[in-house]
Amino acid sequence: VSATGRANADVLIDGETIRAVLAPGSTLLGTDVAASVDRVIDATGKYVIPGGIDAHTHMQLPFGGTEASDTFETGTRAAAYGGTTSIVDFAVQTYGQKIQDGLASWHEKAAGNCAIDYGFHQIVGDVNDDSLAAMRTLPDEGISSFKLFMAYPGVFYSDDAQILKAMQLSRDTGLLTMMHAENGPAIDVLAAQLVEARKTDPFYHGKARAWEMEEEATHRAIMLAKLTGAPLYVVHVSAKQAVEQVAWARDKGQNVFAETCPQYLYLSLEEQLGAVSEKWGAFEGAKWVCSTPLRSREEGHQQAMWQSLRTNDVQMVSTDHCPFCMKDQKELGLGDFRKIPNGIGSIEHRMDLMYQGVVTGEITLERWVELTSTTPARMFGMYGQKGVIQPGADADIVVYDPNGHTSIGMPVDEAGNPTGRTHHMNMDHSAWEGFEVDGHVDTVVARGKVIVDHDEYLGAKGDGRFIRRGLSQYLV
Ligand code: URP
Ligand code: ZN
Ligand code: ZN
């Protein structure tokens, strides 16, 4: 199955790359191909798809007074179990830090530890003259995109003047501007007022981060991009009104792109409000504290997000994988939702969750491949090497069984100990507890090596290599 169609075919792998895609029973120079290879993986009755590419992850992100709980080792292994064979993680420049130093520290964290191939975007947390000069060298480092934040004042936040300068550089260099589009200063006032009024439960995180704050920031980012001529990619879009802004800009011919995440397709603010457990009470809702926040189902955001995937107003799906445990991490925000580290862990489940959209008729099989692999490869300058099964491409392949079944989560007993099946992410809970998917990742091949075979991990840390990305193939 590719982004454009499906066919009965054999895929011939030679070393780390794909040699040929052949009609079944083909001969090459007179020899029967199937009979002359070292190993045959029988995919009869199953889908053979290009390995998933998750273009938005945060391994070991320092955030909210703690650090995202998956290392490059645990997070990329969990990804592999779930049929994802490449990630693009966010290297971080913190305030006051040199970009070169932030980037070097990310290489240090990842090198030799990854189960699958990995690239980096650059978070620019401090736009100044020194940073702008350093950003010009990013393409030579194999990095073709950077992320700015209109949220999180005092942490990663950029004001409009900084955004304008960075976008001018984006126009000049072809680097893709990625934007966290929420009006952070206004949100922080609303959040403080809620806490003052003793509305401190996790659910109020979503109340403070109102959709108006996402719509406004998305529009502002679009207008700044229009003025400067910068290409713009809006990350983790969750509000239907933000999608309308993206669609409006695209209809006018602007180079504006967007991603959404599984949590904005399946989970809602109402469910977060209703989540009360014996152990945590209403603080159970902390498991779903992420930014942008979960949106109201009554207001129809989830339905609108699925629709946007069909109409291509939103072009791809990433996880924004940013896991935190409840113990010692999320619980930092007991009594004040502002102190809950923001993020949900989903890297292991993206392919399954999006396949469930095929089962329920929300998207087609081909669109599933496009949203999870082919478009991410094109968007971030990897297509040809990644995102497609064709001669010369890396042999990153998933055999997916539509007749299989996947139970997602990490069920625990009363004492909080896992009871049997569990995910492989380094988390003490799952934001996806109880989700059942009619499909299963059977075999995962990464650059020609079988790294997962029927839930058995056969890879090793260090299998994954750094991906030197080119400019976005939607822009060149
Ligand atoms: O809640 C989230 N999204 N945490 C990760 C940081 C970000 O803004 O992407
Ligand atoms: Zn963000
Ligand atoms: Zn993120």
The model's pLDDT over 251-298, given as tens digits with 9 standing for 90+, comes to 999 999 999 999 999 999 999 999 999 999 999 999 999 999 999 999
State the pLDDT at residue 33: 79
Bridge pairing between strands 27-28 and 17-22: unpaired
Residue owning tokens 């995202």: 68
Instruction: Look at residue 418 and give its three-state secondary structure.
Output: strand
Task: Report the candidate in 180, 124, 113 with the shortest Cα–Cα distance to residue 460.
Answer: 113
Give the CB-side neighbour count of residue 303, counting CA atoms within 13 A: 5
341 ligand 1 Cβ < 6 A: no
By most ligand atoms within 8 Å of CB, the mutation choice from 122, 124, 291 for ligand 1 is 291
Residue 337 backbone dihedrals phi, psi, to 5 degrees: -60, -20
Res 416: pLDDT: 75
Supply the pLDDT for residue 476: 79
CB 135 within 8 A of CB 146: yes
Q: Which residues lie across from 9 on neighbouring strands?
A: none
Joined together, the tokens standing for residue 132 give 């702008």
Is the distance from CB of 104 to CB of 82 less than 8 angstroms? no
Q: Ligand 2 center to residue 186 CA distance, Å?
A: 16
Atom of ligand 1 nearest to the CA of 149: 8
Name every residue whose Cβ is closer than 8 Å to that of residue 415 and which is 6 or more positions away in sequence: none
Task: Check pocket membership of 346 for ligand 1, CB cut-off 6 A.
Answer: no
pLDDT of amino acid 6: 97
Interval 445-461: pLDDT, tens? 999 999 999 999 999 99
The answer, yes or no, to whether any atom of ligand 1 lies below 6 A from the CB of 180, is yes
CA angle 412, 71, 446 (to 5 degrees): 100
Q: Which helix (H) or strand (E) holds 189?
A: helix 184-196
Is residue 58 lining ligand 1, measured as CB closer than 6 Å? yes
Q: Is the dihedral of CA 177, 151, 130, 98 positive or negative?
A: negative
Tell me how far CA of residue 293 lies from CA of 7, 20, 235, 360, 429, in angstroms. 40, 44, 13, 24, 19
Q: What is the mean pLDDT of each run of 10 residues along the chain (476 residues)?
A: 97 96 84 85 97 99 97 98 99 97 98 98 98 98 98 97 98 98 98 98 98 98 98 98 98 98 98 94 98 98 98 98 98 98 98 98 98 99 98 98 96 81 94 96 98 98 98 94
Distance CA 432, CA 408 (A): 6
Residue among 94, 322, 347 to mutate when testing ligand 1 (max atoms within 8 A of CB): 322
Task: Quote the pLDDT of residue 453.
Answer: 98
Res 412: pLDDT: 83
| Nearest CA, atom 4, ligand 1 | 343
Sign of CA dihedral 256, 261, 266, 267: negative
Would you say 122 and 143 are in contact if contact means Cβ atoms under 8 Å apart? yes
- Which residue, 39, 34, 38, is CA-closest to 9? 34
Helices (H), 91-128: 99-110
Q: Please give the Cα distance from 262 to 172 (Å, whole number).
A: 33
In this prediction, residue 328 carries a pLDDT of 97
**What value of ipTM does the predicted structure carry?**
0.96
Question: How is residue 118 written in tokens?
Answer: 């990995």
